[in-house]
Structures are given as structure tokens and as C-alpha cells.
Structure 1
Amino acid sequence: MADSWFSVHCEGVENPVYVSEVIENATNPSFRSFDLHMCGSLILRLDQLTLKLWAKPTAEAEYVLLVELQLHLRSLQFLGKSLDSFHQPLPSNSVLFHFSDGVYANLTDIPTASTASSVKYAASDSAALSTSSYDALMRLANLDECIQDALATREKLESQINSILQKNQQAIITTSQASQAQDKLALTRNAVGTERRHLRLAAKRKEELIASIKARKDAMARGRSTQYKARSHLPDAQLKLTSSAKLLDQNTEDAKGQIRRISEDLLSIYPIEPIPDEPLTFTIAGLALPNSNFEDIDRDTVAAALGFTAHLVQLLSFYLSVPIPYPIKPCLSNSLIHDPVSASLPQRTYPLYPVNVQYRFEYGVFLLNKNIEIILNKQGLRAFDIRHTLPNLKYLLYVLTAGTSEIPARKAGGIRGLFPGRLSPSVSRRGSNNSSVYGESVHPSKVLDPGTGKLNGDVKGRKKPLSPIAGFARMSQMA
């Protein structure tokens, strides 16, 4: 690996005609192409040159002359269009020349053209050299005369053209100035057209801004008028706001009291009691329900307990206005639950009673526990464990029934007292002792129409509709 560069020298020229760039750290350096046309015909027509290659093996050493070639260009050997097709080994310190027609080299075993010519002439010193014929010399003389005549004609035409140009110099200048003026006029017209388009766009934008400002002024005027009217009604609105806030607080407290009363009623219908000596194990209406562990169980008891639990969860979601994602169909010991949420399920309805396919029953209990967890979250509570069905329900009812104030009395209209504007499907409680206790009075021969909210006529002989709680309590007693 060495740093190298080369120089080209010609006979009769003191300084090198070309000095290449330096190629650093290379074993086979490749130098860029160069052109000697700037040197003139004296150098370009020479067929002999001297090439010197300089190299420096280390950074501290000086450049030394590695190769010096006395080249005769006619003695170069053609290697091919490129080196890809040349597979012969080359001697060391060979210099390859890349010309426009291919790659050439000066190998040591090829004599130079001057040597070959001297040998040829030495072998034929005594032989007479042949000359051209008379006809060829005459044709050459005629050709020379034609060339001289053409050169004279060219010089004559050049002088005539120069004299014509000098005579019409002013006209040529005028024509050039006219052409420049025409170009300048075209540029000016284009600039004027562009500015006119900009002016039209600016005028249009101005009109749009004026219209927008006018519309904003009108809107501000209307707003000020509306603001003035609103300020005139502000004192009355503030009074209404104060009274509405008080009424809202009162309704909230009344709603809490009604929810507390309803929770007490639900807890009395479906009492949830702990089983002694078994932590976190409860019974509902006297029936034990395990916490998601259904091995070695009484299938009928578990089915009835889950039916009571499902109905209790459905009533809590209704009275607490908490929609549950998994609808429940309470049917005592044959209760069902539906899953419309999960994707890619072969079945949507699952039993809440033990069946032969155990995973369907356990998945139904899981959906029921998810409903309980959602109701707890809506009340701001956190479930102990999603698998603990009755402990979570007991915790929810304990919080809903907590309080030291007196439980409010049942209002006339049943659920209508808790949810204004919503009618209960079983408002008529003809002959009920509870209605008499809480001051409820219903005509014995009329019932409330669920569709219109008005009392119908004489309906003697018809059976009185029951409320959801009373109806299910009667069914549980029959069971």
C-alpha cells in the first residue's frame, strides 16, 4: 500500500504537460481521465512521450521514482474493450492506458514502432524506393489548387460579410434594441395582467370581509339585545334557581328515603342471613347458596336460591335505575340469564339452575355475579370478590338501608312517588291492609289503566293486578 501519482513529459517541453492527483494507500491505483487539448496541436500531434510514476511507501518517506516509461504510442498493444475479457497475467509495474476505444498496454516483449522501422529500413537500404505516378501527382496538385481556391474564396466571403456588418451596424443595433423592447413589453403585459388578477381577488376579498364584518355587527347587536332581555329576567331566574336547587335537594333526600324503604322491603321478602361457623356463607329466604363452588350440592336448593337471587337482582336494577348488561328472566327454580354482549358465542341464554352441562350453569352464575358487581359500582361500592354472590348482595342492601332517620311512609301511587312521571303497572291495591296503613285509598270498583293513567269504570269480577314484590312473595309462599 503506497501513495502514488504520475507525470507526463514531452520532448522539447521543459515542464511536465500533465501531473495527476495523488492516490493514497493503494496497491493498484486508478487515476482519473484527463484531456490535453488545452496544450495545443504541438503536443497533441506527438506520438512519443515519457511517463514517470512516483510512489511513497510510508507517510514519513519521500516520493521516489518507481517507473519511467519511454512510450511510442503506436507500439501500444490493444487488450480489449475492458479488462473483464482479458484473463492473461500482467507483469509487475505494468501501466494500462484507457482510451475511448479500449484498454492498451506497453508490454516488455513488444518492440517499439521506431525500432521496427529502423530494422525494416536497414534490411532494404540497397532497394530502390517506389514513388507515386504522374497521374497521382497531378491529381494531388489539382486538389491543392482547389483547396487554395476554397481558402481564398472563404477569406473573400469573410471580408464581404465583415464590410456588410460594419455598414449596417446601426441597423443591427436598432433591430436588437427592438427585439429587446418587444420582450420587455411582453414581460410588462404579463406583469400587468397578473397584478390585475391580484387586484380583482383583493377587491373580492375586501367585499367578503365587509360582508362578514357587517354580519358580525348584526349578530353582536342581536346578542346585546338578547343579553339585555336575559338580564331583565335574571333576578326571577335566580329565585327559580334557588327554589329549584332546594327542591332538587329535597327530591334527592326523598329518593334516598324511598330507596331505603324499598331496600328494607326487599330485605324482608328475601332475608339474607349468615350461616353459623361458615365465614362468608349466607342463605337467602332460608336456602343456602355457595359462593361459585357447586360440588356436592343439593341441585333443587341451589336452583331455588339462585331463582330468588336473580329476582332480587332484577328488582334492585329496576328500583335503582341501573341497567344491567345481562338481562335476567326470573322463573323460580328455572331462571335464565341472557348474554347479548360477548361475541362468537354458540348460545346466548344460560340456565341459573344446575344442568348436565356444568360449564353453561357456571357461566350463567358468572353473568349474574357481573350484574351484581355493576350495581355495586353504580352505587360507588366495590365488590369483595365477584364469586361471592350473597355476600355482595348483603353488602349492597346493608349500605342501601343504612341511616338513622325515620323510614318514610309509602306514598300513594306506589312507584310513582319515587319516579315522577312513570306509572307502576300495579298501582291498584284493592283490599290491601298495607294501603290502609300508609294512607292509600283506591276505589273498590275501579282500577288504574297503565296506558292512560286514569281510573277505569266498574270492573267487578276482575282480578286485581299485583305488584312485582307482592306477586313474587305469594309465589314463593306457594313454593
Structure 2
Amino acid sequence: MASPLPSNHNTSILLPHNRAKLRNLTSLSLRNLSLDKDGRQRRKTIVDDDAVPQTLKSPAKIVALREGRGLEHSRSSGDLRTLGEEENAVVEHGGSPGKSKAARERPKIGRMRRRSTLEWANATPQRRQERLERVTEERMMDVFYSLHVGGIEEPIYISEIVERTMNPTFRHIDFSSCGPGIMRLERVLVRVWVRSVKKGALWRQLLELDIDLLGGLQWVGKSGQLDTLNHALQSPNTLLFHMTDGIYTLPPPITPPQPHRPINRSTPSSRPHTLPTSPFDALLRLAKLDDSIQDALTTRNKLASDLENLLQANKEALEERDRVAEAEDRLKTIEFAKVVVCKQVEKGRKQVEEKRASLDARRRLMREDVDQRGRQSKELENRIRPEIPALKEEKEVRRKAIHAQRRRICEDLQKIYTLTPIPKKSLAFTIRDLHLPNSEDLDSEAPETVAAALGYTAHALLLLSHYLHSPLPYPVEALRGSTSTIADTISKLSKTTSSGSEMRTYPLYPKGVPRFRFEYAVFLLNKDIQLLLESCFGVRVLDVRQTLPNLKYLLYVATAGEGELPARKAGGVRGLMHPGRSASDASNSSALSGLLWPKEAANGKVGGNKGAVESLRKNMGKKV
């Protein structure tokens, strides 16, 4: 399993008891892979008694055997058997010296046939490739190995498969899944498995070695010297162990010494001192074979030269033929591309015509529509133009009347919900004698007082939104005095919970509810006041947390204006009813939705009616 190593190799740098642990094994290599474990060369079996070397050979038999056997290489060019030794060999085998000369002479049996050796020289490249692949399949193998330790049935490590090789070198061993009990072992069982590269071949075990890492290995050299040591690894199936300090292998087997045979000086030696060499016939056949090979090589070179001359002579014709073929292929490609482009152009032309017809139809319809709209606008302008000055005057009179009535209603609302400043306190007000602190100081008053003041504030704000015709973004849903609520309709929360309570409705009273919901309700009320000031009057609020000061400011801006306030007459409020509403609808919501028209509105006389304009002027204190 191992070949003799050079004597001048280095030694290991680790002590045996430190090195001989399984944890120091990093990798394995195999050299000179062979399926013959004993390393002997396999020869053909002797199936005929005449082929046995000890059989008595006649001259004709020797010639037949020479014709039948192949060439043999000479073992030595100097150890040629002498004539005397040949005679002694004949005598020892039972012959007579007189027959030795006849045995040495070649019988005259006719002209020798020259063997044909051109079969392999003139073989096709396919046949040469097949023969090389056959030789490769016989020698190349797929190899992997497994490591086993005592007490564990399964292998502790299985290497990767190295395909089509005779000298496999495996990857580093991964012992990450092994514990300290395995890593400290000194003995390991290595099994090498091989498989032929032929299709359908099965795996079989080539080697099974029980290795003692402490005393069963021999140091070869360092890891970087593996290429320089290949000449020393000549034995088949040489297994190399890559350790942390170098490369180790198994020591060569010890051959028992051969016993010395006594030498009898009286009897001549049966073995001659010189070894046999190749016979003359073999050398002659070898010379003829060499001549045949040289003739084959000369013929091959001559054929190659003739072919090269022929190609050079017809080079222009061949190039012209290639150019013609390329031009024909290019012409076919251009013709195909032309057909494709023509189809695309035809399709695009049809699409352009369809789109042009569609655009012409649309332009025609647009011209007709513009002409029709122009005629309608001219007719409408001719019909309404005489009434435009009167309509503008009526609109201005109504706008002033609506503004005056809103001022009067806001004055009445300010008298109902009186906002009185508290002496010696900045920005502190009371609503109907109830003090409502600002949002950051709501705990300074009793909860009942704060809830009642917030109810008054919410009611006043709701009335202002109706009078100013501006809906609140956060409407007051329930006006119940000190238990009023406000809603956040744009919240992302669900409307109701599983228990049925409203999630978007927040209380304007602090008792019996979560504190954050009450504070959020006050914040929504303050935002309503801010948005009314900004949307209706374009006034910016400095601090949204000041509830009553901002409400006082809103009432102050709403009651501002020029001229005297119109007087309120019996029959409802006049001046805010929409022209499209009837008197019966207006009477149901006279206080919240707008002012009522005079009695002419009940008879359907609205719009550009002179009686309505005169009534508004009278209500505003002007002369007709």
C-alpha cells in the first residue's frame, strides 16, 4: 500500500501523543488507484499445454510460437546468452549437444509473411477516439471514502464523490457535528468506495483500513511538498493522511528474509548468469514495423501536402462560392424583412386612415356643438339682457338685506347667551353667568359648571352655523344642556363597538367618561369656532384653546356692519328665505333656516318681482 520514501525527509514538528488525535486529520488523498489490491499484473491464462514454458519445444513448434506471440521488450542490451550457455541449457533440458545447432538454425518453411501494421495508423479519428475512451473507462473511477469509529454503527463522515480520476484529492474534513469524545480518538476505520465510469456500474468497496494514528503512520513531508513526492509514491492504492503538521502514509509491509540456499560447487548452476533478451525474429518484426510506420507517416504527410496544394489552387473558387452563398442568404433575409415591413406599413396606413376619419367626425360634431351653443347663448342673451340691470339691483338689495338680518339675529343671540368678561382676569369670560375656563385649565371649575357652560357654547355655535349657512365639520349631535355630545364624522374609527357604544361621538361633560374623550370633545368644539371664523369672515384665530374669547370674537365680527339694524315684524323673520322655498316651508323653520318673504311669496311671486324689492327696501328703512 505504500512505497519506500526518501531517506532525507523531514520529521514531524508535533509529538506523537499530541498528533495522534482524530481532530488533527484534515483531509485524505489516494494515489495510483487500481482495482488489483495486490499490485500484480494480470496476464492471460495458459489454456494449452503446448504454451507451458517447460514444455519440450521442437524447431517447428518454436517457429509457430514465435509467429503467435507478440513483441517483447528487451530487458538488457548486454546480457545476451552465449552459444555455450545455450548448449548447456539444451543439455539440461534433456537434449543432446548435437541438436543445439539445429535448434539454433531457422527452418526453411517458405517466405515469411509481412504483417500489416497500417490498420491502426490509417484508423479514422472516430475509431481512435473510441479506443481512447475505452482505455479511459477502464482506468478512471468515481471515488469517495467514509470514516468509522468503534461503538458507532453509522459513519461519522462521508466525503464528496470525485469523478473520473486515478489520483483523487478530497476536500477538508468537516468535524463540526462530532463531539469531543470522537475528536480525541486515536483509531479510525477508513473505507474507500469506487465505481466504474461505465453506465449502470455499482459501487464496491476497494479498501478497508483500521488506522492507528499513534504508531501506524509514517511521516512523508509537509503539505506543500505533495507534488514533489509523487515520484516516491509508486505503489498502487497509496493512501495519504493530511494532518495539521504534514502528510502521513502507511509504512511499507515488512518482507520476511529469504533463506539462503547452499551453493553446490560440484553441480553447475541451473540458472545462467545472463538473462534472455528479445529474439532475432522479434527484432526483425520490430524493424519491419518501424519501416511500416515510417511509410505510413510519409504517406500521411504526402496526402496532407497534396490536399493543401489542392486547397491553395482552388482557394479563389472556394472563396467565391462562399461569398455567393453568403450573398444569397443575405438576399433572402432582406426579402423577408421587406415583406414584414410592407405588411407593417399597410397596417399603419389603415390605422392612420381610420384615425383621420374619426378626427374629422369629431371636428364636425364639435363645430356643430359650438354653433348650437353660440345660437343658444345669443338667444338667451337677447331675451335676458333687458332684465340684467334689474336682476343685479335685486341681488344687491337681497345681499344687503340678508347681511342686515344676520346682524340682527346675531345681536339677539348675543343677548340670549351673554358673554361677560371677568374683572381682573385676562381673556376670562362667563356665559349666562357660568365661568368656562380655557382648555388648558378646565379643572379650575366644578365639573357641573363646566358641563353646563359647554352646553350653552355648543347651542350658540349650532345656531350660528345655521344663520351663517356654514355647516360645522364636527356637528353637535345631541343638545341636552350639560350632557351634550359632539361627533367626529371624519375619524378612522368604526362608528360603533361590539357593545353598541358610539366610537365617533365624544361627550362635552367630564363626569363618568374617560378624560381623553372629554378633552377631545372640547378640542373639536374649539375647532368648529376656528373654522367658522376662517370660512365665513376670513379671520385667523391666534389660540384655538380659548373657547369663550374666540366665540365672543365670532359674535363681534358677525354683528359688525354699517347702518341701522332692521326691525323684526310680526309673522316671522324676513330676508333670509331662499327664493325657491314656499311660505309654508319657511314657516316651519323661520328661526333657524332664514328670513321669511312677504305675503307675495305665498302667491308665487318671487324672483324679479318689483313688489318683493320694494318690500325689502321698506324693511331696510329706504324710500321707494
Please report the TM-score for the alignment, with normalisation by the length of structure 2. Answer: 0.42
Question: Could you report, residue by residue, the CA deviation over 1:368-421 in whole angstroms, capped at 9, with x for unpaired residues?
Answer: 222222212222123343232222111111111112312235586647834444
1:366 matches 2:512: no
SS of 2:543's equivalent? coil
1:392 matches 2:550: yes
**Contact 2:417 2:460 survives alignment (8 Å):** yes
Counterpart of 1:263 in structure 2 is 410
Tell me which moved more, 192-201 or 296-305. 296-305
CA distance in 2, matches of 1:192, 1:205: 20
Query: 1:130–1:255: structure 2 CA closer, same or farther, 3 Å change rule?
Result: farther
Counterpart of 1:334 in structure 2 is 483
Counterpart of 2:422 in structure 1 is 275
1:225 matches 2:382: no
1:304 matches 2:452: yes
Query: 1:298–1:370: structure 2 CA closer, same or farther, 3 Å change rule?
Result: same
User: Structure 1 residue 152: deviation in Å?
Assistant: 5.1
CA distance in 2, matches of 1:195, 1:257: 79
Query: 1:129–1:300: structure 2 CA closer, same or farther, 3 Å change rule?
Result: closer
Query: 1:138–1:248: structure 2 CA closer, same or farther, 3 Å change rule?
Result: farther
Q: What amino acid sits opposite 2:416 in the alignment?
A: I
**Contact 2:574 2:598 survives alignment (8 Å):** no
CA distance in 2, matches of 1:363, 1:174: 95
CA distance in 2, matches of 1:281, 1:166: 117
Query: 1:194–1:238: structure 2 CA closer, same or farther, 3 Å change rule?
Result: farther
CA distance in 1, matches of 2:386, 2:599: 36
Query: 1:208–1:405: structure 2 CA closer, same or farther, 3 Å change rule?
Result: same
User: Structure 1 residue 241: deviation in Å?
Assistant: 6.5
CA distance in 1, matches of 2:448, 2:329: 107
CA distance in 2, matches of 1:134, 1:399: 140
Matches within 5 A, 1:89-168: 133-151=279-297, 153-154=299-300, 157=303
Tell me which moved more, 365-374 or 296-305. 296-305
CA distance in 2, matches of 1:368, 1:195: 72
Counterpart of 2:142 in structure 1 is none
RMSD over equivalenced CA pairs, Å: 4.8
CA distance in 2, matches of 1:294, 1:223: 65
CA distance in 2, matches of 1:282, 1:225: 65
Question: Could you report, residue by residue, the CA deviation over 1:411-443 in whole angstroms, capped at 9, with x for unpaired residues?
Answer: 86647834444578771699x9xxxxx99779x
**Contact 1:325 1:371 survives alignment (8 Å):** yes
Q: Which has the larger radius of gyration?
A: 2
Q: In the alignment, which of 186, 190, 210 is matched to residue 332 of structure 2?
A: 186
Counterpart of 1:198 in structure 2 is 344
CA distance in 2, matches of 1:166, 1:366: 102
Counterpart of 1:427 in structure 2 is 587
SS of 1:273's equivalent? strand
Query: 1:202–1:156: structure 2 CA closer, same or farther, 3 Å change rule?
Result: same
User: Structure 1 residue 214: deviation in Å?
Assistant: 2.5
Q: Which 5+ residue runs of structure 1 have no aligned equivalent?
A: 1-79, 91-95, 97-127, 433-437, 443-447, 449-479
CA distance in 1, matches of 2:221, 2:466: 97
**Contact 1:271 1:285 survives alignment (8 Å):** yes
Query: 1:213–1:311: structure 2 CA closer, same or farther, 3 Å change rule?
Result: closer
Question: Could you report, residue by residue, the CA deviation over 1:13-39 in whole angstroms, capped at 9, with x for unpaired residues?
Answer: xxxxxxxxxxxxxxxxxxxxxxxxxxx
CA distance in 2, matches of 1:234, 1:295: 65
User: Structure 1 residue 156: deviation in Å?
Assistant: 6.5
1:381 matches 2:534: no
CA distance in 2, matches of 1:224, 1:440: 43
User: Structure 1 residue 291: deviation in Å?
Assistant: 2.9
Counterpart of 1:408 in structure 2 is 566
Query: 1:149–1:246: structure 2 CA closer, same or farther, 3 Å change rule?
Result: farther
1:290 matches 2:437: yes
Query: 1:189–1:272: structure 2 CA closer, same or farther, 3 Å change rule?
Result: same
Q: In the alignment, which of 443, 462, 470 is matched to residue 322 of structure 1?
A: 470
Counterpart of 1:76 in structure 2 is none
CA distance in 1, matches of 2:282, 2:395: 132
Q: What amino acid sits opposite 2:562 in the alignment?
A: T
**Contact 1:274 1:282 survives alignment (8 Å):** yes
CA distance in 2, matches of 1:146, 1:439: 137
User: Structure 1 residue 178: deviation in Å?
Assistant: 6.2
SS of 2:587's equivalent? coil
Query: 1:254–1:200: structure 2 CA closer, same or farther, 3 Å change rule?
Result: same
Query: 1:408–1:416: structure 2 CA closer, same or farther, 3 Å change rule?
Result: closer
SS of 1:322's equivalent? coil
User: Structure 1 residue 253: deviation in Å?
Assistant: 2.8
Question: Could you report, residue by residue, the CA deviation over 1:211-260 in whole angstroms, capped at 9, with x for unpaired residues?
Answer: 24523542454255346526744853777776655554444333322221
Select the structure with the greater relative contact order (CA < 8 A; seq sep ≥ 6). Answer: 2
Q: What amino acid sits opposite 1:339 in the alignment?
A: D
Q: What amino acid sits opposite 2:289 in the alignment?
A: L
Q: In the alignment, which of 498, 507, 526 is matched to residue 351 of structure 1?
A: 507
Query: 1:210–1:374: structure 2 CA closer, same or farther, 3 Å change rule?
Result: closer
Number of equivalenced pairs: 322
Query: 1:417–1:242: structure 2 CA closer, same or farther, 3 Å change rule?
Result: same
CA distance in 1, matches of 2:510, 2:303: 123
Counterpart of 1:10 in structure 2 is none
Q: Which 5+ residue runs of structure 2 have no aligned equivalent?
A: 1-167, 173-219, 229-273, 498-502, 603-624
Question: Could you report, residue by residue, the CA deviation over 1:133-155 in whole angstroms, capped at 9, with x for unpaired residues?
Answer: 42342122212231243245446
Q: What amino acid sits opposite 1:351 in the alignment?
A: P
Q: What amino acid sits opposite 2:335 in the alignment?
A: R
Question: Could you report, residue by residue, the CA deviation over 1:100-154 in whole angstroms, capped at 9, with x for unpaired residues?
Answer: xxxxxxxxxxxxxxxxxxxxxxxxxxxx999864234212221223124324544
**Contact 2:436 2:442 survives alignment (8 Å):** no
Q: Percent identity?
A: 41
Counterpart of 2:399 in structure 1 is 252
Counterpart of 2:92 in structure 1 is none
User: Structure 1 residue 269: deviation in Å?
Assistant: 1.9
User: Structure 1 residue 312: deviation in Å?
Assistant: 0.5
Question: Could you report, residue by residue, the CA deviation over 1:52-76 in whole angstroms, capped at 9, with x for unpaired residues?
Answer: xxxxxxxxxxxxxxxxxxxxxxxxx
CA distance in 1, matches of 2:460, 2:277: 136
SS of 1:405's equivalent? coil
User: Structure 1 residue 173: deviation in Å?
Assistant: 8.2
Query: 1:353–1:422: structure 2 CA closer, same or farther, 3 Å change rule?
Result: farther
Query: 1:159–1:206: structure 2 CA closer, same or farther, 3 Å change rule?
Result: same
User: Structure 1 residue 190: deviation in Å?
Assistant: 1.5
